Each structure stands twice: as C-alpha cells, then as structure tokens.
C-alpha cells in the first residue's frame, strides 16, 4: 500500500488520510464504477444540454422511448446490436492478446464487399441454403482477409497494427465507394449503391422486425469464444501472450502464428457483421451500411472487459443508445449527442478504473505535538 | 570529522502492511565514510530512499546539522545537499555525459553552449579523478563510466552527503579501487559518504564507521577499527548461519549438457559468447561465476532455445539440439529459472495455477484435445503448494500478490514438476530473504541428488563455493577455466573473472 | 500549361495541403517527446475545425475563430492528460475514445453551419520581395498567414528541442522519467504542458482546414489526416525538420490526384482517394522494417505512465 500522509501544517493539525493501493479489484467494484460513470455522464450531459437550450429530460425520454419504448423499438435495438456484437467480439479476441485491432470498420466493409460479390455474381437459381452459406462464408473470409493483411504487416515488418488497421479502414471504405460510384453502380436507378441482391441471398428475418439471422451467428460466436477463453489451450496461449509475451516465448508459443490467427478470427467476425448489414438489412452494397460500428466496437469491448458475455450485454445497451439517437434525429435533435455520450461514458470508466485501484481510509484526527 | 552531520530519528516506513523500516536511528558524522550494512531486505535501500527524498516516511524525522528538514522530493534532498547514486542508474541513454550532468539545473540558461559545457564538465571530472569523456553518449559507456557520470551529477550539484547504493555490485574488481580512491578524496574534502552494502570485505576496507540493519531495525553503530568481520556478520544475521552444505561427490560421467564452441551475438549485434565450451554432468551442480554482463544472459537464452548461435553445437543428453525451438528443448527435459523472475518467469496478473502450467500446458496429461480439466489442475497446484511450502493468498489469485521468495519457489516448483534432466538457475537467490534462499538452495541440491544436472549462474561467490561441485568462470563470453571450489582461492577466481586464464 | 507553371501550381497546393498535417504533427512531436502518445489527434482536429468555423461564421473574426479552436482543443487535451497522466489509464484506448468523442463533439458544434461558406477566409499574402524568387518564390511566399507561422514554428521547434535547456529536459522526461524526476524535474508538468500544447496545435490544424483549405465545415472533414500526422511523427523520427519534409511529400500525393484528373486522366476520384492511405501504409512498413535493425530513436518512455513509488 502506498501510504501518503497529508499534512495540514497551517492549522497545526495532522489529519490522517491514507490512500492505499488495493491489492486486488473485485468485479463488483467495476460494475459500481460503470454505473457511477453512467450516472455522472447523464447528469453532466444533462447540464450541458440545458445550457444549450434543450430540455434534458425530454431528450432522455425521447432516447429511452426510441430504444425500448415499444416492442418494435426494442426489436430495432436488438437489430442494431447485431453488428456491434460481432465487431466487438472480433476486436476483443485481438485485444486479449495485446494486439490493437482498430480495423473492425474496414473489415466490416470488406466483408460486406465479398458477401455482396457472392450475392450478386452467383447464379440466382441456386437453392437458398447454398446461396446463404456461400454469402456467409464469403463475408467471413473477406473480413478475415482484411484483418490478416494487417497481421502479416505486423509479423513481417513489425508495422504498428494501430496505424495499419486504421489506414486499411480508409482503404476499404474507399474501395466500396469506388465500386458503388463506379462499376457496381445501379444503372437503373443511377444511385450510388449496388443493385438489389436476389431474395435467395437475403438472410432470414424474424417476421415483423429487422432482426436477421446474423444475430444467431453473433450469439454463437459469444458462446464459442467464452468456452475458448476459459477452457482451451488456445485461449490460454492468447491470454499468456497478452499478459507477458516474454514468458509466452519461453514457453515455446509461436507468437507470430497467433497474431495471424486472432486477426483472422477478429476480422472474420467483423466481416460477418458487414455481411449481416448487406444481406440482412440493406439488401445491397452502399457506403452507408455502417454507423461507425467498428469504432464503437472498441469502446464496447473495453467496457465489457473483453468478456464475451458481458460484450453481448453492453452491445445491446449501445444498440439502445444508437436507436435512441435515431429517435432524436427524427425530432430534429442532433444525433451526435449519442456519440458523445458513448465516448464520455468510456472516458469516465477509464478514469474511474484507476481510482478504483485506490481505497481511502480515514483514520481520524490527531493533534501534531512537536 | 567528529562533528555530527546527519541524524535520522525513529524512521518508519511500510509497504503493503510490512514494515521495511521500523523506528530506525542513524547518526553520521561529516567527512566520514559510513557503511550501512545488512542483508537483502534489511531495509537499507528503503532508509536511504527516505533520505534522498523518494519516499515519505510514515514516522520519524531527519536532521541535518541539528536542524530538522522535510523532504518531499529528490529535488528537496539535493537542495539540502543530499544526493544518491542508485544501483540502477538514472541516466538518459541517448544524451551525452555533459547533458546528463547539467540536466535540470537552472543555472544553464536559454540556448545551450554545448562546446563550453563539454569543456567545463571535463575539467570538473578531472578534479575528482573521474575519468569519462563528456562528449560521449551514455549508451556507449561501460558500467563503471556510467557510475562516474552519476557521481559527477551529484558533485556538480554540490551535494555534501553522497549516498551510494551497492556501488561495487556492477564493477569489476579493478574498477573498485579507483572508486574507493574517489570516495576517500571526497571525504577528505569534508564531504560525507554513506555506502549501502552487504559485503563485509568492502566495509572493512573503506568504511570509518558502520551501522548494521537487520529486519528493518537498526542494530548497532560501531567504529570499523573497533570491530571485526565476524562481529559484523553476527550482527547482520542475528543467528547461526545454516550453511547449506553440498555433499560433494563426483557427478557421473554422463553429460547432460555439452556446449562446444558456441558463438552468439547479443541484442546489439555484438559478440556475447565466443567459442564457449563446457559440460554439465548428471548428478552435479556446475556453477558459473562472473561479473554480470559477460554473456550469462545470452548463455541462458541459448540453452533455452531463445537465441540462435552462429557457431558451435549444443548437445542435451547426447542429442544434438543446437538451435532447436524452445518447445523441443522443454520436451527434452530442460528446465530454466530465469534471472528476471517477473519479466521472464511469471505472468504477474495470472493465477498460480495458470503460471504453473506455462511450460506444460500442451502436455496430454494436462489437457484433452485442447480442453483443460481445471479440477485436475487445481489438485496439482494444491499439491505443489504443500510440497514447496508456498505462501499464497489463493491459487486462483494473481501471483503478483506473492512475495519474491514465494514467487521464486513457485518458479522452481514449475520447472521441477516434470523431473528435468537439466535445471538452469540464473541468479536464483537474488532478492530473497534467508528463509527463501535456504529453501531454493535445498531444491537445487535435491535435484542434484535426483540425478539431474544443475547449471547455477550466480554473482554471489559464497553461494557458488557452497553449492557447486565445479565452478566455471565466464569472462567476455568464454570460459576462463574450471576450478574445484574446495581448493581454489578467491583471488584466483577474481583474477579469472577479470580475464586471466587458468594457468 | 507548361511544365514549370504546372510544377509551381502543384507544389503551391502541396504546401497548403501539408500545413494542417504539419501543425498536428508538430504538436504530437512535443507530446510524444514527453512520453505521451495522443491518439486523439483526429478528434481534436475535427473539434478545432468545427469550433473555428462556427466562431468565425458568427463573429466574422478569423483570429478569434482560430484562438477558440485552439482553446477548445487544448481543453480536451487537458481532459486527456488528466486521464492518462494523473490517472494513468491506458494511452492507446483513451486516445481512441478521445477521437470518437471529439468526432461526435465536432458534429455537435458544427451542426448549424454544415457546408456553409465562410464569411472570411485566410487569403494568400504575397511577401513583396521574396515572392519574386524564381520557382521557390511563388510556391513558398505566396501563402497565407498560418503557413508563414509554420515557417517560423518549425525551425524554432527544432531549436527548442535540441538546443535549449527546456528541450533537453523535455527529452529526458520522455526517455527516462525516473532519471528526470530524481533530478527534480516535474515530469507531470512537462507532460501536461506538452500534451495541451500538442492539442492546441491540432486544434489549429483543424481550424486551418475549415478556414483556409476547404474552406467550410463538413462532418469528418479531416478524413484521416490526424492519423497520417501520427505516422508522420514516426517517419520523421520525432524531428520537426524531417516532419516538414514528410508533410510536404504527403501534400504532393494529396494534390497529385486532382491534378492528374485535371490533365484528363480518367481515374476515379475514389480510387485516388485511397492513395494517401496506401502510401502511409507503405511508409509505415518501410520505417518499421528499417528500425528492426538500427537503433530505435523512439522516446523510450513513450506510452508508459510514470509512477514514482512503483516498486
């Protein structure tokens, strides 16, 4: 424990407040910090909104209604959560190993591209099961390829993965832009998106909602990852590399191979998210398929402490936030409030993270006798 | 010289609930060289860190010249004329000697006139007999030269009280005398020097007075002339030393590790091992003596499979395993307890169980088809805790909560789990208290009795002499000679450690 | 259009394009030299762009717009500093969140002035005598005020970092904060000031985009320039002079795309849009490969929070 004594010399008193470092942090403390941060953010943003002339309670009520007000809205929240779940899970695998995969956005787009490729260029007469399988696999492979690209650059050239994955994000988005404004432009409507996918290439949807089959993929991935991390040797290797790569090396673990694997899996999951957006919701490839899911995924993965099940819960929460943001837009309020809220929550959690490691013990007053 | 300069009164300081200093008292006169003597963990460095302004004491006061002072930072300490040269140097590698010496001084204004400063620092260094090139960048300097830069830093700031923490730990025997000469000339000028050490020989040579610390408490302060090594040792240890005696028998003639003509480079691309050859037989402990930095680190890495060789061969149990991958070497029965316990040995945030299986997790006995059986692993861990008497908060709690001694025991337990043929231990007792040291040394002896070959790398000559069957001396990456610990003289080993070949 | 006037025109535009990146990179050099990596640069630039534009739009005062941009960005930098320096949170994640937050904040600030035209902009001010120098004159000395500011800032930064006492202390804080602390240097103060200064410069960079380069406010208008600035810092080995060269190089690539189109080459602008990022990746790979062998010039304590009593 770090004992820091505070002297209040001016008064001749010495009050003993010991700030001691905790030796371990119980998960309960973390949840408390999370909730406290949420509360603080709501209060703070409420104050700012009031200053700007908005009515904070109205704003929050609209958001809440948009998120879970009606069963339909709730289903929209779940649908909004699907790409978040997949991208966040993907990002969390790499993070566990200490690899900063910031490229979920680009992997999302590239997976959307390859899924669209399959949907648009496979013979439309194929039975739906086959079509869907190919589209799903194509989406995974596209994202995986985009992720592995950064992985290769890291293992061969030691190129910082934060920067390469980021740059690749812009390249992937640029690629999709090029396609939909160029060769894939829908000639009939002359709009910057591709033509519609055949219905056999569309994912099944829960009737009456936007919830599509990729949700199942997301939940399945969460369960699989949970098992992998808790009980398998590969999960152990990843954890060890993330905690202490030196020790991992002495244990004979092949770090380079694992870098490629996590980028492959992570990219593939983000690619599935992209596939889900084009084959489950949009029905065509366009530049508007992502509301920054790849970046929000990073916040979610961190807030969820890289735990697959927590990530699912946090994703649903953020899906609600996004949905709430759309509701705001519909009444003319800026949806950027939501982005700021999301960022602010994590900023508070990051700060609270450290405070959580200290414990204040008040030992009482004692007159200083000299 | 008999004028009292420094008094530390009733200093107490605790970490994690354990008292590192417990109402310690220290009196030092001006113009003297005062030795602070004690074993590892006695509280010497903590006490001096308090004096140097790095730690705030929980209780107690510091008086200079009779006046009480409060130190809230190292800057405060320097302002009061107190400066400390630490064991790990606080130098900025990429800057020059001059830049390091003048760093932080307000007297240097605006644009730096480097030429003038170089000259000034050069003259200053000559005045104290500290030989170093002011224009050189620190990363290029030898350890002894870096220490001189640290001393220069303090002298340039006109410290009256210089604290040196284990100054000879990183020096070759030749560099020690020039250091002692410099210290004597400083004391002659009226400055005061406090040396932290655990080496009795040094104390008897250089100190005027000695204060002994033990278990966080001050035991006594004596005049060097009025005491003896034996008395100091007794005060330092406080009880009969149970020397772990090695039953020296000949090892078998079966070579467990045969290293022939190995050459390897270090991380900077310079030669670390040059034509290195030695052999470890089963049932013996081969000690490697030498000043740290002569290739020991690279040697351990080569044997572990973490560093490739440019020439030479390495046979383990008569199998050529030169440049094999770490996993193959692990599977061949080689266990390694690395020098850097927490950097390279343990994953601090992971649990005892998880750390236990680092080398063996891929074994079919620990997992089925890639899936762990945690219940079985837990039983294994509990067994290990019992057998090695490891004190821990819980086997699923992070190992960073364990003390250094228990961490080391865990490391040894992990490495000896699979009855290795070769056990490599690098500086295994560094930083451990007496109890843990005894336990670790006993583990090594037990392994030797079992028939394993033990390669022990240590900087503690007493430990090597007490434990090894044979001692090889390493210098600049080659073996200077192999000697019998029972008959060799310390002077001879010292000479070999400095490059003299075994005649 | 002869070759010479084409070259002049291209390089002139390249300087304009390089300016925001260089401002941001200079700021980041100060921050990273002190040991803190600020990945929030992109967000800070956007906040600066939106703030600068909004303020100038409403007050018709360019200077006020720029100053407000710098102030708001510096404030965010202060928040960032609080979290990563005092509270010692992870610099990478916090920086990324700062970018996300800053992006949202900039959209919020600029929501009423999207795609408006600025009432006043930074116009080019030719320097009377110097602009007549053949070739270099029209390129370098027919620029606006902020570019001229850069001409001063770059060499002055070099001087400060390498030839003054403060610069020496700054470098030591980034290389070995324990050593600096032991000598009485205030590590926290250096880091706070460097990060806030760096953030202010990033705000300035953004303001340049919306008040000189574009000039207007569009959401996400920095388009990754903040990240390119970060790569530039590594590419320039934390040296302001090299950063200037690198920024100019990037500026050339940036402008080249439009020029090629103007010359009749039918390349899709979206394809060309990918070019700067691809180039950045290649540059990054090149730097990384070469630094595998040579001595690493990176400040040793970069991204590592400083804890004095860490045992």
Cα B247 to Cα C288: distance, rounded to the nearest angstrom: 54
Cα B332 to Cα B420: distance, rounded to the nearest angstrom: 8
pLDDT of residue A12: 37
**Averaged pLDDT, C89-112:** 90
Cα A276 to Cα A300: distance, rounded to the nearest angstrom: 19
Q: Per mean pLDDT, which range of A87-101, A262-276, B80-94 is the poorest?
A: B80-94
To the nearest whole number, what is the mean pLDDT of chain B? 85
Helix, strand, coil in percent for chain B, rounding step 5 = 35, 25, 40
Could you tell me if A157 lies within 8 Å of chain C, comparing CB atoms? yes
Question: Who has greater pLDDT, A35 or C109?
Answer: C109
Is the pLDDT at B240 greater than 50? The verdict is no
**Do residues B484 and B470 make contact, with C-beta atoms less than 8 angstroms apart?**
yes
Query: DSSP per residue over A107-142, as a string?
Result: HHHHHHHHHHHHHHHS-TTS-HHHHHHHHHHHHHHH
Read off the pLDDT of residues A193-237 as tens digits, 9 standing for 90 and up: 888 888 888 999 988 888 999 999 999 999 999 999 999 999 999
Is the pLDDT at A369 greater than 60? The verdict is no
Give B-chain residues touching C185 at CB under 8 angstroms: 103-104
Does B169 map to a domain?
Answer: yes
Nearest CB to B78; choose among C171, C176, C184: C184
Q: Which residue of B has its CA nearest to A26?
A: B397
Q: Which residue of A has its CA nearest to C284?
A: A159
> Could you give the angle at the alpha carbon of C254 between the alpha carbons of C252 and C255, nearest 5°?
70
Is the pLDDT at A366 greater than 70? The verdict is no
To the nearest whole angstrom, how far is the Cα of B365 from the nearest Cα of chain C? 38
The contacts of residue A303 (CB under 8 Å, 6+ apart) are: A34, A310, A314, A345, A346, A349
Residue given tokens 């004095």 in the structure block: C308
To the nearest whole number, what is the mean pLDDT of chain C? 88
Cα A340 to Cα A53: distance, rounded to the nearest angstrom: 17
Could B103 and C159 be called an inter-chain contact, meaning their C-beta atoms sit closer than 8 Å?
no
Q: Which residue of A has its CA nearest to B358?
A: A251
Instruction: Collapse the DSSP code of C238 into the 3-class scheme (helix H, G, I; strand E, B; otherwise coil) and give the result.
Output: coil
- Total domains in the fold of chain B: 3
Q: Which residue of B has its CA nearest to A244?
A: B347
CATH number at residue B167: 3.40.50.300
- The model's confidence at residue B470, banded by pLDDT at 50, 70 and 90, is very high
Q: Where are the domains of chain A?
A: 82-306
**Do residues B463 and B285 make contact, with C-beta atoms less than 8 angstroms apart?**
no
Residues B426 and B392 in one domain: no
Nearest CB to C101; choose among A171, A182, A344: A344
**Do residues C238 and C29 make contact, with C-beta atoms less than 8 angstroms apart?**
yes
Identify which of C26, C50, C53 has the alpha carbon closest to the alpha carbon of residue C38: C26
Q: What is the ipTM of this complex?
A: 0.81
Rg (CA), chain A: 24
To the nearest whole angstrom, how far is the Cα of B23 from the nearest Cα of chain C? 21
Give A-chain residues touching B16 at CB under 8 angstroms: 1, 23
Cα A333 to Cα A329: distance, rounded to the nearest angstrom: 5
Q: Per mean pLDDT, which range of A155-169, B164-178, B381-395 is the poorest?
A: B164-178
Could B344 and A24 be called an inter-chain contact, meaning their C-beta atoms sit closer than 8 Å?
no
Read off the pLDDT of residues A69-85 as tens digits, 9 standing for 90 and up: 888 889 999 999 999 99
Indicate the residue among B393, B417, B441 that finishes a domain. B417
Question: Who has greater pLDDT, C1 or C55?
Answer: C55
SS (H, E, C) C80-113: HHHHHHHCCCCHHHHHHHHHHHHHHHHHHHHHHC
**Averaged pLDDT, A303-315:** 93
Classify the phi-psi angles of B243: left when phi > 0, otherwise alpha if psi is within -120 to 50, otherwise beta. beta
Residues B205 and B262 in one domain: no
CA dihedral B359→B363→B368→B371, nearest 10 degrees, is: 10
Could you tell me if B330 lies within 8 Å of chain A, comparing CB atoms? yes
To the nearest whole number, what is the mean pLDDT of chain A? 85
Is the pLDDT at B4 greater than 90? The verdict is no
pLDDT of residue C187: 92
- The model's confidence at residue A19, banded by pLDDT at 50, 70 and 90, is low
- Looking at B451-489, list the stretches that DSSP marks H as alpha helix, in order from N- to C-terminal side: 461-467
pLDDT of residue B224: 86
Q: Which residue of B has its CA nearest to C311?
A: B15
Could you tell me if A356 lies within 8 Å of chain C, comparing CB atoms? no
Cα A91 to Cα A263: distance, rounded to the nearest angstrom: 9
To the nearest whole angstrom, how far is the Cα of C293 from the nearest Cα of chain B? 9
Give B-chain residues touching C300 at CB under 8 angstroms: 93-94
Indicate the residue among B237, B261, B285 that finishes a domain. B237
> Phi/psi at A262 (nearest 5 deg)?
-70, -35
Question: Who has greater pLDDT, A125 or B413?
Answer: B413
- Looking at chain A, list the stretches that DSSP marks H as alpha helix, in order from N- to C-terminal side: 27-51, 56-64, 71-96, 104-121, 128-157, 161-181, 214-231, 233-243, 245-250, 255-276, 293-303, 308-330, 336-355
Could B358 and A251 be called an inter-chain contact, meaning their C-beta atoms sit closer than 8 Å?
yes
Could you tell me if A160 lies within 8 Å of chain C, comparing CB atoms? yes
Cα B27 to Cα B25: distance, rounded to the nearest angstrom: 7
Cα B405 to Cα C241: distance, rounded to the nearest angstrom: 51
**Averaged pLDDT, A174-182:** 90
* Token reading at B37: 């003597």
Domain containing residue B57: 4-237
Identify which of B51, B45, B55, B37 has the alpha carbon closest to the alpha carbon of residue B218: B37
DSSP state of B310: S
Cα A160 to Cα A162: distance, rounded to the nearest angstrom: 6
Residue given tokens 């398929």 in the structure block: A289
Q: Per mean pLDDT, which range of A17-21, B94-98, B291-295 is the poorest?
A: A17-21
Nearest CB to B103; choose among C183, C309, C311: C183
Is the pLDDT at C264 greater than 70? The verdict is no
Residues B124 and B259 in one domain: no
Could A157 and C292 be called an inter-chain contact, meaning their C-beta atoms sit closer than 8 Å?
yes
Q: Which CATH number applies to C3-291?
A: 1.10.3470
To the nearest whole angstrom, how far is the Cα of C155 from the nearest Cα of chain B? 14
Does B338 map to a domain?
Answer: no
pLDDT of residue A189: 80
Query: DSSP per residue over B274-291, as a string?
Result: EEEEEEEETT-EEEEE--
Nearest CB to C169; choose among B75, B84, B104: B104
Cα B81 to Cα B62: distance, rounded to the nearest angstrom: 13
**Do residues B280 and B255 make contact, with C-beta atoms less than 8 angstroms apart?**
yes
Against chain B, the chains showing at least 3 CB pairs within 8 Å are A, C
Nearest CB to B401; choose among A24, A244, A246: A24
Read off the pLDDT of residues B292-329 as tens digits, 9 standing for 90 and up: 778 899 999 999 999 999 999 999 999 999 999 999 99
**What's the gap between Cα B383 and its chain centre?**
31
pLDDT of residue B78: 86
Residue given tokens 């439009």 in the structure block: C258
pLDDT of residue A25: 63
DSSP state of C223: T
To test the contact with chain B by mutation, choose from C170, C173, C183 the residue with the greatest count of B C-beta atoms within 10 A, namely C183
Indicate the residue among B237, B254, B289 that finishes a domain. B237
Residues B478 and B398 in one domain: no
- The model's confidence at residue B218, banded by pLDDT at 50, 70 and 90, is confident
Question: Who has greater pLDDT, B437 or B270?
Answer: B437
To the nearest whole angstrom, how far is the Cα of A336 from the nearest Cα of chain C? 5
Does B342 map to a domain?
Answer: no
Does B339 map to a domain?
Answer: no
Read off the pLDDT of residues B226-236 as tens digits, 9 standing for 90 and up: 887 777 767 77
Could A167 and C285 be called an inter-chain contact, meaning their C-beta atoms sit closer than 8 Å?
no
pLDDT of residue B502: 57
- The model's confidence at residue C265, banded by pLDDT at 50, 70 and 90, is low
The contacts of residue C183 (CB under 8 Å, 6+ apart) are: B74, B75, B78, B90, B103, B104, B153, C172
Could A5 and B58 be called an inter-chain contact, meaning their C-beta atoms sit closer than 8 Å?
yes
Is the pLDDT at A4 greater than 50? The verdict is no
Residues B182 and B314 in one domain: no
CA dihedral A130→A133→A137→A138, nearest 10 degrees, is: 50
Cα C126 to Cα C212: distance, rounded to the nearest angstrom: 15
Read off the pLDDT of residues C17-59 as tens digits, 9 standing for 90 and up: 999 999 999 999 999 999 999 999 999 999 999 999 999 999 9
Interface of A with B (CB under 8 A): 1, 3-5, 23-24, 231-234, 236-237, 239-240, 243-244, 246-247, 249-252
Against chain A, the chains showing at least 3 CB pairs within 8 Å are B, C
Give C-chain residues touching B108 at CB under 8 angstroms: 165
> Could you give the angle at the alpha carbon of C229 between the alpha carbons of C225 and C231, nearest 5°?
115
The contacts of residue C166 (CB under 8 Å, 6+ apart) are: C160
Residues B444 and B486 in one domain: yes
Rg (CA), chain C: 20
Read off the pLDDT of residues A109-133 as tens digits, 9 standing for 90 and up: 999 999 999 999 988 788 889 999 9
Nearest CB to C168; choose among B75, B103, B153: B103
Could B336 and A249 be called an inter-chain contact, meaning their C-beta atoms sit closer than 8 Å?
no
- The model's confidence at residue C248, banded by pLDDT at 50, 70 and 90, is very high
- The model's confidence at residue B251, banded by pLDDT at 50, 70 and 90, is low
* Token reading at C76: 């965010």
Q: Which residue of B has its CA nearest to C159?
A: B111
Does B150 map to a domain?
Answer: yes
Is the pLDDT at B239 greater than 70? The verdict is no
**Do residues B36 and B80 make contact, with C-beta atoms less than 8 angstroms apart?**
no
Cα B316 to Cα B320: distance, rounded to the nearest angstrom: 6
């Amino acid at each position: 424990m770090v004992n820091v004594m505070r002297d209040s010399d001016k008064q001749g008193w010495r009050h003993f407040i010991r700030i001691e470092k905790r030796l371990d942090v119980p998960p309960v403390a973390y949840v408390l910090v999370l909730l406290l941060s949420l509360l603080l953010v709501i209060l703070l943003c409420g104050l700012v909104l009031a200053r700007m002339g908005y009515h904070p309670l109205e704003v929050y009520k609209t958001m809440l209604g948009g998120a879970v007000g009606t069963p339909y809205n709730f289903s929209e929240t779940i649908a909004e959560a699907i790409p978040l779940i997949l991208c966040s899970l993907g990002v969390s695998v790499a993070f566990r190993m200490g690899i900063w995969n910031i490229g979920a956005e680009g992997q999302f787009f590239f997976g959307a591209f390859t899924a669209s490729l399959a949907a648009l260029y496979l013979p439309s007469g194929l039975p739906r099961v086959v079509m869907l399988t190919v589209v799903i696999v194509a989406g995974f492979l596209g994202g995986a390829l985009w992720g592995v690209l950064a992985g290769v650059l890291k293992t061969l050239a030691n190129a910082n993965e934060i920067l390469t994955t980021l740059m690749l994000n812009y390249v992937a988005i640029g690629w999709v832009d090029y396609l939909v404004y160029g060769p894939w432009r829908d000639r009939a409507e002359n709009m910057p998106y591709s033509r519609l996918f055949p219905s056999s290439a569309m994912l099944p949807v829960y009737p009456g909602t936007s919830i599509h089959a990729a949700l199942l993929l997301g939940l399945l991935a969460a369960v699989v990852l949970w098992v992998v991390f808790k009980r398998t040797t590969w999960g152990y290797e990843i954890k060890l590399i993330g905690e202490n790569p030196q020790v991992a090396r002495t244990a004979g673990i092949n770090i380079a191979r694992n870098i490629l694997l996590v980028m492959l899996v992570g990219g593939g999951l983000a690619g599935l998210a992209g596939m889900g957006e084009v084959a489950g919701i949009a029905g065509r490839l366009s530049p508007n398929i992502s509301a920054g899911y790849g970046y929000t995924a990073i916040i979610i993965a961190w807030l969820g402490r890289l735990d697959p099940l927590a990530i699912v819960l946090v994703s649903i929460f953020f899906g609600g936030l996004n949905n709430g943001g759309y509701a705001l837009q519909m009444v003319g309020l800026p949806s950027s409030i939501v982005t700021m809220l999301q960022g602010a929550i994590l900023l508070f959690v990051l700060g609270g993270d450290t405070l959580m490691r200290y414990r204040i013990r008040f030992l009482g007053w004692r007159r200083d006798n000299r | 010289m008999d004028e009292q300069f420094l008094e530390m009164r009733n200093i107490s300081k605790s970490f994690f609930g354990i008292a590192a200093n417990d109402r310690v008292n220290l009196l030092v006169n001006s113009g003297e060289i005062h030795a602070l003597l004690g074993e590892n963990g006695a509280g010497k460095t903590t006490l001096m860190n308090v004096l140097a302004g790095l730690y705030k004491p929980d209780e107690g006061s510091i008086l200079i010249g009779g006046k009480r002072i409060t130190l809230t930072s190292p800057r405060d300490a320097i302002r009061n004329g107190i400066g400390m040269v630490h064991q790990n140097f606080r130098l900025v590698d990429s800057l020059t000697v001059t830049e390091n010496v003048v760093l932080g001084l307000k007297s240097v204004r605006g644009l730096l006139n480097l030429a003038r400063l170089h000259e000034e620092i050069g003259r200053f260094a000559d005045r104290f007999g500290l030989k170093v090139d002011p224009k050189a960048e620190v990363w290029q300097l030898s350890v002894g030269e870096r220490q001189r830069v640290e001393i220069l830093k303090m002298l340039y700031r006109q410290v009256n009280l210089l604290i040196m923490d284990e100054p000879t730990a990183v020096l070759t025997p030749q560099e020690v005398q020039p250091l002692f000469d410099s210290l004597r000339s400083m004391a002659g000028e009226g400055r005061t020097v406090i040396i932290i050490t655990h080496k009795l020989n040094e104390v008897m040579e250089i100190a005027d007075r000695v204060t002994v610390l033990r278990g966080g408490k001050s035991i006594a302060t004596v005049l060097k002339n009025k005491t003896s090594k034996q008395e100091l040792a007794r005060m330092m240890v406080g009880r009969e030393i149970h020397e772990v005696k090695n039953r020296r028998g000949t090892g078998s003639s079966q070579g467990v590790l045969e290293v022939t003509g190995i050459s390897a480079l270090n991380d900077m691309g310079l030669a670390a091992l040059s034509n290195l050859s030695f052999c470890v037989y089963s049932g013996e402990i081969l000690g490697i003596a030498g000043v740290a930095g002569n290739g020991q680190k690279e040697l351990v890495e080569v044997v572990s499979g973490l560093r490739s060789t440019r020439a030479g061969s390495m046979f383990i149990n008569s199998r050529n395993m030169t440049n094999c991958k770490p996993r193959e070497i692990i599977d061949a029965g080689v266990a390694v307890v690395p020098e850097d316990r927490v950097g390279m040995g343990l994953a601090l945030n992971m649990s005892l169980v998880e750390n236990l299986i680092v080398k063996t997790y891929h074994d079919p006995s620990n997992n089925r088809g890639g899936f762990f059986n945690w219940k079985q692993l837990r039983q294994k861990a509990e067994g290990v805790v019992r057998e090695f008497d490891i004190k821990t908060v819980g086997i699923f709690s992070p190992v960073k909560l364990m003390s250094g001694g228990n961490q080391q025991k865990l490391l040894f337990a992990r490495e000896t789990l699979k009855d290795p043929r070769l056990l490599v231990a690098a500086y295994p007792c560094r930083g451990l208290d007496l109890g843990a040291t005894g336990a670790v040394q006993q583990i090594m002896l037990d392994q030797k009795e079992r028939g394993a070959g033990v390669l022990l790398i240590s900087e503690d000559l007493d430990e090597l002499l007490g434990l090894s069957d044979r001692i090889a001396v390493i210098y600049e990456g080659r073996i200077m000679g192999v000697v019998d610990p029972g008959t060799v003289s310390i002077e001879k080993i010292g000479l070999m450690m400095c490059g003299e070949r075994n005649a | 259009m002869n070759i010479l006037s084409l070259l002049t025109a291209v390089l002139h535009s390249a300087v304009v394009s390089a300016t925001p990146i260089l401002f941001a990179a200079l700021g980041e050099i100060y921050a990273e030299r002190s040991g803190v990596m600020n990945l929030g640069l992109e967000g800070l630039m956007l906040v600066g762009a939106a703030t600068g534009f909004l303020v100038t739009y409403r007050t018709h005062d360019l200077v006020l717009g720029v100053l407000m941009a710098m102030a708001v960005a510096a404030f965010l930098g202060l928040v960032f500093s609080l979290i990563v320096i005092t509270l010692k949170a992870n610099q990478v994640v916090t920086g990324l969140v700062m970018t996300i937050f800053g992006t949202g904040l900039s959209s919020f600030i600029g929501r009423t002035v999207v795609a408006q035209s600025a009432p006043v902009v930074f116009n080019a001010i030719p320097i009377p005598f110097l602009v007549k120098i053949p070739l270099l004159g029209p390129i370098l000395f027919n620029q606006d005020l902020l570019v001229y500011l850069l001409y001063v800032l770059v060499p002055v930064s070099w001087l400060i970092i390498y030839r003054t006492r403060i610069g020496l202390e700054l470098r030591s804080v980034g290389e070995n904060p324990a050593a600096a602390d032991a000598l009485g240097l205030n590590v926290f103060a250096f880091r706070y000031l460097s990060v806030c200064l760096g953030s202010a410069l990033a705000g300035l960079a953004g303001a340049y985009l919306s008040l000189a380069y574009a000039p207007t406010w569009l959401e996400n208008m920095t388009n990754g320039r903040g990240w390119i600035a970060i790569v530039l810092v590594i590419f320039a080995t934390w040296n302001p002079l090299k950063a200037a060269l690198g920024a100019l190089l990037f500026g050339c690539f940036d402008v080249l795309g439009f020029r090629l189109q103007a010359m009749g080459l039918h390349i899709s602008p979206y394809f060309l849009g990918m070019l700067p990022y691809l180039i950045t990746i290649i540059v990054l790979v090149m730097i990384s490969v070469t630094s595998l062998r040579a001595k690493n010039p990176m400040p040793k304590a970069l991204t590592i929070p400083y804890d004095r009593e860490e045992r």
